[in-house]
């Protein structure tokens, strides 16, 4: 929801890459562009098999009928596989596979947290499983660039996508640390086990409020043969 992604080719190093070009309304925000550049630099320093590599980031310009606009971009490793979001949508996931996927996410987070980088937007749409079964987490830092240049939970959720995976402190607009990523990973595990997120509502703000004030139904009460 924040960018268009293209398949590209790095002619210097001779490899296929993914190029993410940020949405114009975000690109026109100077605060966002500055934060995005800083976060891309932090992400580029992380090298772990469970994290999609960031090779480069920069800013181009695009000219159209309405004038010239900045176009911030990020160049990443091209991953062949499926989004965890699509794997969940295809049907029930076994407990064994659910644990394996979450183990991969936690491996990425262990590495990033040691490097001082908090993801802030762990959800199935930001996790890929390669054709060989390797879990890869992507978009480190982009959520911070968004939330640091957005003033409200409603604004942030409309850009990032969904409040279903927000930690209570994110929902309340408070400062966020590594624990928020672990909470969001717990929500992903819940969804892998049950096929649904623990909280649902008519609006992002309504869902965010449930994270703060309610306790989810145990997965073993949602799925009959789920081990407690």
Q: How far apart are CA 119 and CA 116, in angstroms?
A: 10
The pair of three-digit structure tokens given for residue 151, joined into one six-digit string = 């003033």
Residue for token digits 């073993």? 220
Q: Sign of the C-alpha dihedral, residues 128, 151, 30, 35?
A: negative
CB 178 within 8 A of CB 167: no
Tally Cβ neighbours within 10 Å of residue 143.
25
Q: Is 202 a catalytic residue?
A: no
CA atoms within a 13 Å half-sphere pointing along the CA-CB vector of 162: 16
Query: Token pair of 24, please?
Result: 């114009």
Alpha-carbon distance of 23 to 207, in angstroms, equals 25
Mention every residue, 6+ apart, whose C-beta is less than 8 A from residue 154. Answer: 204, 205
Q: Are 106 and 48 in contact (CB under 8 A)?
A: no
Q: Spot the catalytic one: 121, 177, 181, 224.
A: 121
DSSP letter, residue 51: B
Annotated catalytic residues are: 121
């Amino acid at each position: 929801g924040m960018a268009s992604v293209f398949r590209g080719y790095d002619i210097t190093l001779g490899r296929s890459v993914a190029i993410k070009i940020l949405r114009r309304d975000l690109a026109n925000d100077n605060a966002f562009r500055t934060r995005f550049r800083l976060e891309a630099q932090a992400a580029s320093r992380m090298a772990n098999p469970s994290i999609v590599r960031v090779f480069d980031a920069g800013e181009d310009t695009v000219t159209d009928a309405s004038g010239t606009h900045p176009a911030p971009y990020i160049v990443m490793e091209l991953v062949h596989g499926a989004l965890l979001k699509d794997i969940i949508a295809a049907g029930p996931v076994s407990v064994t596979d659910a644990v394996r996927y979450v183990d991969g996410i936690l491996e990425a987070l262990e590495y990033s947290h040691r490097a001082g980088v908090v993801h802030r937007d762990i959800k199935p749409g930001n996790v890929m499983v390669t054709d060989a079964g390797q879990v890869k987490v992507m978009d480190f830092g982009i959520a911070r660039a968004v939330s640091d240049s957005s003033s409200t939970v409603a604004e942030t959720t409309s850009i990032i996508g969904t409040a279903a995976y927000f930690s209570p402190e994110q929902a309340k607009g408070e400062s966020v640390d590594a624990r928020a990523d672990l909470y969001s990973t717990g929500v992903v595990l819940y969804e892998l086990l049950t096929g649904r997120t623990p909280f649902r509502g008519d609006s992002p703000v309504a869902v965010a409020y449930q994270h703060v004030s309610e306790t989810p139904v145990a997965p073993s009460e949602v799925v009959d043969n789920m081990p407690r």
